[in-house]
Amino acid sequence: MRLNIALYAATVICGCVALLLLYLHVSTSDNEVNGTDLVPGAGQDVGRGLVEAVPLADETEQKRTAEQLEAASKMVTAFVNFDYEDPARTIEAVKSMATGTFLSQYSKGAKDLEKLATEAQSSMVAEVVWAGLVAGDEDSATAIVATSGTVKNKTTQFQPEARNYRIQLELVREDGRWLTKDLQYVALG
């Protein structure tokens, strides 16, 4: 009886090994065309259509995208760097790059921001670590900017604590400049 079980198990294992070797042989020969290996997925149907190279944007579009990302990065840099000893510097920098509803809201809240920061003796230093364009055209753009920095205040007992933010901006082109018309924090998932 034991011999029959052992022979049956050996037969099943040999069958599995044979199927594996056949699969490897077939998949290797499918990836070779005229003796050259293909990059997996290149020019093949990957379930959602044929994979093709994306053409480069023209120079005008590349320049516009760079301007949009630069404007978004400058705004976020001004927005997140704050020193309670010189709040006017941050407030004026942000207002100079804002327009529309965002400018109105920020201007209305600036005094409260200044008061709270002074009471807490709060300072934040951060830098942009990446910026990406979600959408953009000749007149408007949506960008997301990520920052990494530290904040220190009474709550942190004046010890720097890490603060990383993701901020989404809506930009519009006015008088040849990209200005922020909306700014929102993006929740981290």
What per-residue confidence (pLDDT) applies to 58? 84
* 178 shares a domain with 100: yes
Q: pLDDT of 4-16, one tens digit each?
A: 676 666 677 777 7
Q: Are 13 and 74 part of one and the same domain?
A: no
pLDDT confidence bin for 142, thresholds 50/70/90: very high
pLDDT above 90: percentage of residues in the chain: 63
DSSP secondary structure letters along 105-133: HHHHHHHHHHHHHHHHT-EEEEEEEEEEE
32 plus 69 within the same structural domain: no
How far apart CA 144 and CA 157 sit, in angstroms, is 31
Indicate whether 107 and 48 sit together in one domain. Answer: no
Judge if 103 and 180 occupy the same domain.
yes
For residues 152-160, give the mean pLDDT: 93
| Mean pLDDT score, 38-52 | 57
In this structure, what CATH number is given to the domain that contains residue 82?
A: 3.10.450.540
pLDDT confidence bin for 164, thresholds 50/70/90: very high
**Nearest alpha carbon to residue 3 among 11, 18, 17, 13:** 11
Nearest to 132, CA basis, from 66, 59, 33: 66
Same domain for 82 and 34: no
Count of domains observed in the chain: 2
119 and 158 inside one domain: yes
Helix (H) / strand (E) containing 20: helix 2-30
Using only C-alpha atoms, the chain has a radius of gyration, in whole angstroms, of 29
User: How confident is residue 48, by pLDDT bands cut at 50, 70 and 90?
Assistant: low
20 pLDDT band, cuts 50/70/90, is: low
